[in-house]
């Protein structure tokens, strides 16, 4: 897939530059005019023939109100101006019939079924940070309309939403999935838009965000910020450099099983003073059960894992695992998650909890996992209090393994020697 990009330039210069031989995904982070930038990009691709006659375009917004009142209105504004729209179809599933028999479909990303059934040349995800990370593989599967003989593209536009999955997948150098040659990444801010004369004089001041605040940094400076209300007090000191493992008295594993979502395996070691070290991570989307069970078996032999704790809802996987490895369902009571999180946070605050640099997905989740901004007062359990649709696959695996350790009453004897990276 080849990707072309525009930045904030289309506001004052309608030239749409072409990038060479980029693959996979394109990202804009524009606090002003990101939808206009993407719309002008698509218009330029139609004009130069990159989007070929008969092509289909799939455009997704996080909700129908945002799609219709934002993305679609911007699209219509520019495509009407350029005379590229032949016919408009409104209703619950809007379409735009364009020149050269090109059709643009506008759909709601909050309903995964809306992504199915299309074969397209280009996908545009507007305000993608508000969507579930599953939208990426779901919409990538649509890029197949012309076989191999086409330039397929995914365009992502968004205001940052903290250091969430978008930051982890595309921006953070430690966790991003795509190398530089496969991603075009452009970022602009409201400050830059003001400097270019795009934003009116008092606009930034009237937004009401205190300079230096996280809201100001995100909404005005277009930065990825770490919000208050984080569940875990994870800091760089919890991953010291160099990271040297001690002697362990006990090693246990946690497994969170996913189907479309990732499957995660973690190993936790307990040192002679009761400190907890998380030092091995397996994290894979659509993981084959035989693959992760093979990894669990290898780790059990190599690190003398005394017990694996697996999601109590994974009955089939638990039965299969118990045939060859020590395994139990995760402890399940009314608020087991709260007990586990309180135990982990207590260890972190006492500097008795460490996470290896070889566990990038757990580290990323720990840095972003948040409580809800507003509580109704009827929340009863920990899971009622945290935001929905957050990345928590590694966190769940960590909870399953850590909770039984909170019940240990003694320091284990006969420590075993484990060398990191062996």
**Using only C-alpha atoms, what is the Rg of the chain?**
24
Lowest mean pLDDT among 150-159, 227-236, 347-356: 227-236
Contact present, 238 and 353 (Cβ < 8 Å): yes
Long-range contacts of 344-353 (CB under 8 A, 24+ apart): 344/232, 344/276, 344/398, 344/399, 344/402, 345/231, 345/232, 345/233, 347/275, 347/276, 348/232, 348/233, 348/234, 348/238, 349/233, 351/237, 352/273, 352/274, 352/275, 352/276, 353/238, 353/275, 353/276
Topology of domain 9-219, per CATH? Answer: Rossmann fold (3.40.50)
Q: What's the mean per-residue pLDDT of the chain?
A: 81
Domain positions in the chain: 9-219, 236-405
Sheet strands side by side (includes 276-285): 327-329, 307-310, 248-256, 262-271, 276-285, 353-355
**pLDDT at 205 (0 to 100):** 74
**pLDDT at 6 (0 to 100):** 30
User: pLDDT tens across 307-338, in order?
Assistant: 999 998 888 999 999 999 999 999 877 678 88
- pLDDT for 29 beyond 80: no
Higher pLDDT, 26 or 393: 393
Q: How many CB atoms lie within 10 A of CB 378?
A: 6
Nearest to 262 by CA among 100, 117, 91, 137: 137
Architecture per CATH, 236-405? 2-Layer Sandwich (3.30)
- pLDDT for 294 beyond 90: yes
What band does 14 get if pLDDT is binned at 50, 70 and 90?
A: very low
């Amino acid at each position: 897939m080849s990707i072309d990009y525009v930045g904030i330039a289309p506001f004052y210069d309608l030239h749409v530059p072409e990038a060479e031989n980029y693959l996979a995904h394109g990202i804009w982070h524009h606090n002003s005019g990101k939808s206009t930038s993407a719309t002008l990009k698509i218009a330029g691709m139609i004009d130069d023939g990159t989007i070929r006659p008969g092509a289909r375009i799939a455009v997704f917004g996080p909700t129908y109100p945002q799609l219709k009142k934002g993305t679609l209105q911007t699209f219509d504004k520019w495509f009407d101006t350029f005379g590229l729209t032949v016919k408009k179809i409104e209703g619950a599933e809007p379409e735009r019939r364009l020149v050269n028999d090109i059709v643009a479909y506008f759909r709601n990303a909050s309903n995964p079924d809306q992504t199915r059934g299309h074969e397209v040349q280009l996908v545009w995800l507007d305000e993608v940070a508000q969507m579930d990370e599953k939208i990426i593989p779901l919409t990538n599967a649509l890029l197949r309309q012309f076989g191999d003989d086409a330039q397929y593209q995914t365009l992502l536009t968004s205001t940052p939403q903290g250091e969430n999955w978008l930051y982890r997948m595309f921006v953070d150098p430690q966790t991003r999935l795509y190398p530089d040659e496969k991603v075009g990444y452009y970022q602009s801010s409201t400050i830059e838009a003001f400097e270019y004369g795009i934003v009116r004089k008092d606009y930034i001041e009237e937004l009401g965000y205190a300079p230096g605040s996280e809201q100001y940094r995100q909404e005005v400076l277009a930065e990825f910020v770490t919000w208050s209300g984080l569940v875990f007090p994870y800091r760089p000191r919890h991953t010291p450099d160099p990271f040297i493992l001690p002697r362990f008295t006990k090693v246990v594993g946690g497994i969170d099983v996913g189907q479309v979502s990732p499957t995660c395996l973690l190993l936790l070691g307990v040192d002679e003073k009761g400190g907890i070290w998380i030092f091995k991570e397996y994290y894979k989307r659509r993981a084959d059960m035989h693959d992760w069970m093979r990894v669990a078996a290898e780790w059990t032999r190599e690190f003398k894992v005394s017990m694996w704790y697996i999601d109590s809802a994974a009955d089939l996987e638990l039965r299969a695992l118990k045939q060859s490895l020590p395994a139990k369902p995760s402890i399940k009571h009314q608020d087991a998650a709260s007990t586990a999180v309180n135990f982990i946070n207590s260890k972190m605050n006492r500097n008795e909890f460490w996470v290896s640099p070889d566990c990038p997905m757990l580290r990323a989740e720990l840095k972003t996992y948040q409580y809800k901004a507003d509580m109704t007062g009827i929340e009863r359990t920990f899971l009622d209090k945290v935001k929905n649709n957050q990345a928590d696959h590694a966190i769940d695996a960590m909870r399953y393994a850590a909770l039984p350790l909170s019940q240990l009453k003694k320091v284990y004897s006969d420590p075993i020697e484990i060398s990191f990276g062996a």
